Amino acid sequence: MFLNLRVCQGGLRRQGVRPFLVGIQLFIGFICFLIGISMLESTMNHDKTIKKVTDLNTLHLFIEDIGPDSRSEKLLSFYNNLSKNDKIKNIGTFLNLNIPFKELIDSPLIDNKKQSETGINKVVFLDKNLLEWTKFEVKKGRGLDKNDVGSEPNEIIPTLIGPALEEQFPLGTILSSGIADDRKMTIVDKKFVVVGILKENPVYWGGGSSTLANSILTNQTMFICPLQSEQNYGNQLITRLKTNMLIQSKENTSTEEVKKTVQKNLESNKIYGDISTIKEQLEELKKISWPIILFSLIFSSLILLLSIFGLIGVMLSSVVQRYREFGIRFSLGATITSLINLIIFEILVLALFAFSLALVIFYIAKNLINTPIAIDINIYIIIYSFVLCISISFITSFGPILKLKSIEPAQLIRGGK
């Protein structure tokens, strides 16, 4: 094996800079392919992920401006009026916060290093209305319901935790932190009691933007809690009512009717916003994603095709220049088949090196790539890419193999003369 690698290295080195340039082409091609195939995979699976959270006909209201009277009471009155509307079956809001827990400081389970150093973790708070129709699947303990939301301040907060924290914080564990009370402009101490462990791969809305479809929170360590009475004031109230309001229509009422009803309420209160279904947001997201996917896949196909031709040229040149070397090997007992295997091995090494480097760079940089849907890499994408790499290697080897097979053994021994 090591001998073959040394022979392979020597063979490629004798070709000068050409194998290096072909390797760069292969690297760029594999990077573009990984971006395209991972985006395609994420886009195809995005619908399934969202369906875990809610029905696609659920409406999301995003409020851009609450007019000259910007008090939070105006928004709360608007929300309460909507919740009493006879066309609306369900309505609710949520709030996402990053909260520090001393028990999570320097926890290896928190992926973000800065957040781990301070014990900060993602906590999703759901109001009473939303808890009535949102059910979280738990593998241990119990879920949450509307009765967990109290009208009066409560020091104890029943909490569902992500599956990654199960061993560290079993049922009944108490974690200490605090939440902001915007009315009193202070931090109130709270005890988060673990009452349930979420099932594997929990998902929920990231929130805080004009569209929820591209704002999915997939966090193995997140906390789910009932909204606290202290959060019904100030900025926390405004944030969840402006950006994180969800609405479902009754069975005999169309979503279009509900949209018109909400729009009429917005206008009468001089509040400016946009309401759309999660399905509509998904369609808009796909319109943005597909051109990027197609460009990445087409561009990678062209680059890899050029790389195949370039690699064929390099290896054919290598065969011609190494007649004498092959002749010596043949006279020492090597067969045409073993020489062919050597050429295939050289091609495979170059392709696998480019592929491995592309895979490592993509994995490191994937969070820095700005795409409409968060991209990730899984075992299937690695398998698809690896199969492509092997296919390119074997396609490229056909030319050199035919060249070697066409040469008579005696001609090899004479150095091609």
Q: Please, which pLDDT band fits residue 1 given cuts at 50, 70 and 90?
A: very low
Both 125 and 242 in a single domain?
yes
User: Is pLDDT of 155 > 80?
Assistant: yes
Both 303 and 405 in a single domain?
yes
Last residue of a domain, one of 244, 270, 296: 270
Both 196 and 129 in a single domain?
yes
Residue 62 forms part of a structural domain: no
User: Is pLDDT of 240 > 70?
Assistant: yes
Q: Give every CB contact of residue 237 below 8 A, 6+ residues apart in sequence.
A: 72, 75, 76, 182, 231
Residue 408 forms part of a structural domain: yes
pLDDT of 175:
94
Separation between Cα atoms, residue 10 and residue 220, nearest integer Å: 48
Give pLDDT tens digits for 210-227. Answer: 787 777 877 888 999 999
Q: Please, which pLDDT band fits residue 415 given cuts at 50, 70 and 90?
A: low
The neighbour count for residue 362, using CB atoms within 10 Å, is 21
Both 310 and 359 in a single domain?
yes
List the domain range (segments joined by +) for residue 297. 2-48+288-413
User: Is pLDDT of 412 > 50?
Assistant: yes
Give pLDDT tens digits for 346-362. Answer: 778 888 888 899 888 88
Separation between Cα atoms, residue 85 and residue 83, nearest integer Å: 6
Both 182 and 86 in a single domain?
yes
Both 338 and 197 in a single domain?
no
Q: What is the bridge-based pairing of β-strands 223-226 and 203-205? A: unpaired
Both 37 and 77 in a single domain?
no
Coil vs helix vs strand at 61: strand
Q: What is the largest CA-CA distance in the chain?
A: 97
Give pLDDT tens digits for 49-86. Answer: 888 888 889 999 999 888 766 677 888 888 999 999 99
Sign of the four-CA dihedral 327, 328, 333, 335 = negative
CA 233 to the chain's CA centroid: 34
Residue 277 forms part of a structural domain: no
Please answer whether residues 194 and 221 qualify as being in contact, where contact means their C-beta atoms are separated by less than 8 angstroms.
no
* Average pLDDT score over residue span 292-316: 84
Give pLDDT tens digits for 178-215. Answer: 998 888 889 999 999 999 999 988 888 888 777 877 77
Both 125 and 240 in a single domain?
yes
Last residue of a domain, one of 240, 270, 300: 270
Both 251 and 298 in a single domain?
no
Residue 222 forms part of a structural domain: yes
**Eight-class DSSP state of 375:** -
Quote the percentage of the chain above a pLDDT of 70: 87
Residue 59 forms part of a structural domain: no
Mean per-residue pLDDT of the chain: 83
pLDDT of 3:
43
pLDDT of 383:
87
Type of residue found at 400: P
Residue 295 forms part of a structural domain: yes
Both 182 and 247 in a single domain?
yes
Count of alpha carbons within 13 angstroms of residue 83, beta-carbon side:
17
Give the relative orientation of helices 336-365 and 2-13 as an angle to the nearest 10 degrees: 80
Last residue of a domain, one of 236, 270, 304: 270
Q: What is the bridge-based pairing of β-strands 223-226 and 272-277? A: unpaired
The neighbour count for residue 392, using CB atoms within 10 Å, is 24
Bridge partners, 92 (sequence order): 246
Give the C-alpha distances (Å, rounded to integers) separating 242 from 19, 169, 237, 264, 339.
57, 34, 8, 17, 70
Spatial CA neighbour of 226 closest among 200, 192, 202: 192
Quote the percentage of the chain above a pLDDT of 90: 25
CA triple 216-219-220, angle to 5 deg: 150
Q: Give every CB contact of residue 366 below 8 A, 6+ residues apart in sequence.
A: 38, 375, 376, 377
Q: Please, which pLDDT band fits residue 99 given cuts at 50, 70 and 90?
A: very high
Q: How many domains does the chain have?
A: 2
Residue 278 forms part of a structural domain: no
Residue 57 forms part of a structural domain: no
Both 128 and 7 in a single domain?
no
Both 129 and 8 in a single domain?
no
